[in-house]
Structure 1
Amino acid sequence: MTDVVSVSPTRLATYAACPRQYEHKYVQNVSSPDETKLYLHQGKAYHEMIERVCDATDRDDDPAVIYERAMDVFDETWTKHIDPDDYASDAHQEYQRRETLAGIKSFFDPEDGDGIEHAQHSVATEKRIQCERDGLGLHGYTDNVLRDGDTLHLIDYKRNVKGVLGHWSADRLEEHLNEEAHEAQRVKNAFQTAAYTEGIKDSSLYEPGMSVRFSFYGLLHSTDTQSTATGYTVTASGRARETTDAYEEYYDTIWALINAAHNGITTETFNPEPFDLIQEEACGDCDYKAMCPEYIATEVQQ
């Protein structure tokens, strides 16, 4: 891959969301003033819990043993990643701890938890991948790689899969490419799917003739809180969203989007276009709008 510039799906997605945001974040290295650490640290905690359980599990381990293994690592992993000073109150921290524990309990439930299969079939966690397609370099880490016969199933763990790319919404990728809509989240999902699907084929885990699947898994997709006489209880359940069919059907569109973002990054083209769409869909939640010349100009005109 000499002379090939390798870019992560996250950077590509930031550029696709708004080139100017990419410039502020990655070129000028401007820290986001409103960035919260709570969900980031919570995510690191449950990612490591899943990783440790999967790495310690053999294919024939009993589901009850896997569940107890998850419970054993919870407190240590939570304490490692959570800083109490990040929370407005002890009550807030306790709620998020209970929410995460509920998600882990559901995921590794011995009766029907999806995590049992994930652990038993895991052949690699935090697997670094790198690939090159038509001069476009991609790299990143996939959270878990499952093997079932001649199929490798890659998993990316998220908080939830609301708004995540599905085969029924993949046509919106074409609308984004044609500048008819702004679908930053689904475009990011497409970039991740492409990078990891193709990257695993260039790894030692892949054997000729194998099929590859890719899914996002929302560990805390559905949560609920119920009051009790002594306080409250939190329940949570996960949900998978597979993007394999969307990737196969919209392969050319996805790689055209990758090419556009990759080319914009490597040529340092940071003008946000079409700005009307970006402003409507992305500016409202952008932490950099106070320093964005295009956004400021529109505010002055008003």
Structure 2
Amino acid sequence: MSNTNDDGTVYLSPSRLATYADCQRKFDHDYVKDVSTPDQNRLYLNQGLAYHETIEAVCEATDPDDDADVIYRRAMDAFDEKWEANLDPDEYETRAHQDYQRAENCAAIEAFFDPEGGDGIRHARRSVATEKWLESIHDGLGLHGYADNVLRTEDGLHIIDYKRRLSGIITSYTAKYLEEHLNGETHEPGRVKNAFQTATYIEGVKQSNLYEEGMDVRFTFYALFYETTAESTPDGFEISVRGRPRETTGVYDEYYDTIWGLIETAHEGITSGAHAPEPFELINEEACSDCDYREMCPEYLAEEVRR
């Protein structure tokens, strides 16, 4: 999403900035020309809606002193409702596939809201806002987006972004690639997006009505399906799921200047309408093979003709 306020500040979402950081021509096709492509991930997007809406419903209904068993039952009731609302049986090729994925998602919610220490119990009790719209301005660059959950902690506020898995999510060991991406030496749009998300939500919370001077602000990606195991049983199968958090506050602090350099580059490129892929050789090598727009991309087609 993007919008411009009365003083001319352009606000951009992490998704738009990340698409531009991946490939400027892809951004042009996706957001400027609005070229539609087949959505091959609809099934998993709908599953994501089901568990995101489940967590939101539980957090909105929970008070800080609610019993853990009450929260757990609330979660399982909400999951049944949200799964029915978001998933269509026709999306699945077989009934077995449908049954397995429902059981897998149900197991993730059960583990997250486990009364005996599931992280979801703490998230629900400490939640002060879900799907919180956040906006911020930093040196004239506007950022905005929805934060999945904001928790009140003893020291301040903790923003949570719920993911399916942590594969590819930035760590303190891989953050070094941010600078290499900024310098055009490597292509790391996924980790760059993680950096954009971290910056957007930390700065957004600091400029929101939730923030009080002196508060500590943290940001974490939480993978609900971090570890999934399935075992055969006489009646079919049994699924076990375990979630895991990955905090990126430290990465943001350590690579602050690099991250804002990346944001500035993408932000100014978008607002100026610069859509030529740069550096094209690297983008062509790393990104073109998986791009839905390559058959209509002038740079890609020209390179294919040249070859």
State the alpha-carbon separation in 1 of the partners of residues 286 and 221 from structure 2.
Answer: 23
Given candidates 210, 219, 228, the residue that maps to 2:233 is 228
State the alpha-carbon separation in 2 of the partners of residues 42 and 205 from structure 1.
Answer: 30
Shift of 1:198: 0.3
Output the aligned Cα RMSD: 1.1
Residue 279 of structure 1 corresponds to: 284
Aligned residues with identical type, % of pairs: 60
Shift of 1:82: 0.8
Gaps of 5+ in 1: none
Residue 138 of structure 2 corresponds to: 133
Residue 43 of structure 2 corresponds to: 38
Q: Does 1:201 align with 2:197?
A: no
Given candidates 90, 94, 103, the residue that maps to 2:108 is 103
State the alpha-carbon separation in 2 of the partners of residues 103 and 238 from structure 1.
Answer: 7
Aligned residue type for 1:104: I
Aligned residue type for 1:188: K
Residue 122 of structure 1 corresponds to: 127
State the alpha-carbon separation in 2 of the partners of residues 213 and 104 from structure 1.
Answer: 24
Where does 1:127-276 land on structure 2 (aligned, <5 Å)?
127-276=132-281
> Is the CA contact 1:6–1:136 (under 8 Å) kept in the aligned structure 2?
yes
State the alpha-carbon separation in 1 of the partners of residues 240 and 293 from structure 2.
Answer: 36
> Is the CA contact 1:144–1:155 (under 8 Å) kept in the aligned structure 2?
yes
State the alpha-carbon separation in 2 of the partners of residues 272 and 227 from structure 1.
Answer: 49
State the alpha-carbon separation in 1 of the partners of residues 195 and 48 from structure 2.
Answer: 21
Q: Deviations over 1:64-87 (max 9, x none)?
A: 111111111111110101122222
Any idea what SS the aligned residue of 1:218 has? Answer: strand
Any idea what SS the aligned residue of 1:271 has? Answer: coil
State the alpha-carbon separation in 2 of the partners of residues 297 and 73 from structure 1.
Answer: 52
Q: TM-score, normalised by structure 1?
A: 0.97
Aligned residue type for 1:250: Y
Q: Deviations over 1:50-105 (max 9, x none)?
A: 00111111111111111111111111110101122222222222221111101101
Aligned residue type for 1:49: T
Residue 31 of structure 2 corresponds to: 26
Residue 63 of structure 1 corresponds to: 68
Change (3 A) 1:201 1:95: same
Any idea what SS the aligned residue of 1:161 has? Answer: coil
Shift of 1:34: 4.7
Residue 80 of structure 1 corresponds to: 85
Gaps of 5+ in 2: none
> Is the CA contact 1:127–1:143 (under 8 Å) kept in the aligned structure 2?
yes
Aligned residue type for 1:240: P
Aligned residue type for 1:60: D
State the alpha-carbon separation in 2 of the partners of residues 92 and 301 from structure 1.
Answer: 44
Q: Deviations over 1:92-124 (max 9, x none)?
A: 222211111011011011112111111111010
Any idea what SS the aligned residue of 1:124 has? Answer: strand
Residue 3 of structure 1 corresponds to: 8
State the alpha-carbon separation in 2 of the partners of residues 48 and 61 from structure 1.
Answer: 20
Shift of 1:222: 1.3
Q: Does 1:89 align with 2:94?
A: yes
Aligned residue type for 1:37: R
Any idea what SS the aligned residue of 1:182 has? Answer: coil
State the alpha-carbon separation in 2 of the partners of residues 272 and 30 from structure 1.
Answer: 17
State the alpha-carbon separation in 1 of the partners of residues 175 and 117 from structure 2.
Answer: 30
State the alpha-carbon separation in 1 of the partners of residues 305 and 237 from structure 2.
Answer: 49
Aligned residue type for 1:19: Q
Most deviating of 26-35 and 214-223: 26-35
